[in-house]
């Protein structure tokens, strides 16, 4: 394997964490809803990504969700991380997200007992006794303003079970602006060439010393440069099949926007480079969380990050 890449690192707000500018989101590795490689291949992928310099790994409790023999909900993505890094725990930052009930309906339950249960299960699956970053996963604006869920993870932080706390949102600037008025350390949000609404919120979070992680820098593949029409989509992948079945108009509208954005670029790689540059040159952003599927994607994204930062 070619290890001739040079990862860059940035401070994550005021946490004191030096995180890789390219980090690893594990939503796509868990299987179940989306097709993925086998467990052993994914464990090797995770370990190789650490060898290449990635040190931050993101896994919500609903990533790769399945029911065990006792019918309890589990996270295969978190289990994979535990298997991959059980002996390398000190070399990685774990970012977990708690609160959602399942990854299909996006229902959530922020009752304290449920949050603590999800946290404890995450510790077990990740084979660790602490979490570096614990985020409340996609709460409503009402829930953010109420602050009860944050109070739970702040208590876990006070018990030294969590090092940094915060929220994870989609492209929701009002949610972010409300969250950064609270006593949080980290925020994850959606920001890319198609979803630009959080630009002002990012600046306000930066001024407040809050660490900023950007999810969806390639918008789940739309900004990869590979897809300009529905005919280009890999329909054997359940992610795309599910979206076409449920939101065909939205898929076509997004692809139309992508076609417009791609016109100035001669290659798909140039387009991906620009998409990553858009995120990583935004002042305040510490890391772009990317859902890698293979080691070549990891290598290229690190190389692209070298070229733009």
Residue 94: both structure tokens together: 């774990």
Cβ neighbours of residue 69 closer than 8 Å, sequence gap 6 or more? none
Res. 3: pLDDT tops 80: no
Enclosing domain of residue 66: 9-223+270-304
Residue 230 lies inside a defined structural domain of this protein: no
Q: Which range is most confident: 26-40, 41-55, 106-120?
A: 41-55
The encoded tokens of residue 236 equal 């054997």
Q: Give pTM, 2 decimals.
A: 0.95
DSSP per residue over 36-67, as a string?
---HHHHHHHHHHHHHTT--EEEEETTTTEEE
Residue 189: give its domain's CATH number: 3.20.20.100
| 37 band by pLDDT with thresholds 50, 70 and 90 | low
Q: What is the tally of structural domains in the chain? A: 1
**Is 200 a domain residue?**
yes
Q: Is residue 117 part of a domain?
A: yes
Dihedrals phi, psi of 217, to nearest 5 degrees: -65, -25
The pLDDT tens digits for 161-200 are: 999 999 999 999 999 999 999 999 999 999 999 999 999 9
């Amino acid at each position: 394997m070619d290890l001739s890449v040079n990862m860059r690192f940035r401070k994550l707000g005021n946490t004191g964490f030096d995180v890789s500018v390219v980090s690893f989101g594990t939503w796509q590795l868990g299987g179940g809803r989306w097709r993925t490689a086998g467990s052993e291949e994914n464990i090797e992928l995770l370990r190789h990504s650490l060898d290449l310099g990635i040190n931050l790994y993101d896994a919500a409790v609903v990533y790769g969700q399945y029911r065990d023999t006792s019918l309890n909900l589990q996270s295969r993505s978190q289990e994979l991380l535990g298997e991959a890094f059980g002996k390398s725990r000190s070399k990685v930052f774990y970012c977990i997200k708690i609160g959602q009930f399942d990854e299909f309906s996006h229902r959530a339950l922020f009752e304290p007992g449920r949050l603590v249960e999800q946290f404890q299960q995450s510790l077990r699956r990740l084979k660790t006794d602490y979490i570096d970053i614990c985020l409340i996963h996609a709460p409503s604006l009402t829930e953010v303003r109420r602050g009860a869920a944050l109070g739970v993870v702040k208590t876990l932080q006070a018990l030294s079970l969590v090092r940094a706390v915060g929220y994870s949102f989609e492209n929701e600037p009002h949610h972010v602006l409300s969250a950064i008025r609270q006593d949080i350390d980290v925020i994850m949000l959606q920001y890319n060439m198609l979803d630009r609404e959080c630009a002002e919120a990012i600046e306000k979070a930066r001024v407040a010393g809050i660490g900023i992680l950007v999810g969806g820098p390639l918008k789940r593949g739309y900004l990869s440069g590979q897809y300009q029409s529905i005919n280009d989509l890999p329909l054997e992948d359940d992610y795309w099949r599910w979206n076409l079945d449920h939101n065909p108009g939205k898929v076509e509208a997004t692809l139309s926007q992508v076609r417009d954005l791609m016109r100035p670029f001669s290659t798909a790689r140039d387009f991906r480079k620009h998409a990553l540059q858009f995120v990583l040159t935004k002042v305040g952003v510490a890391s772009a969380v990317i859902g890698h599927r293979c080691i070549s994607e990891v290598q290229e994204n690190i190389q692209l990050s070298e070229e733009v930062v």
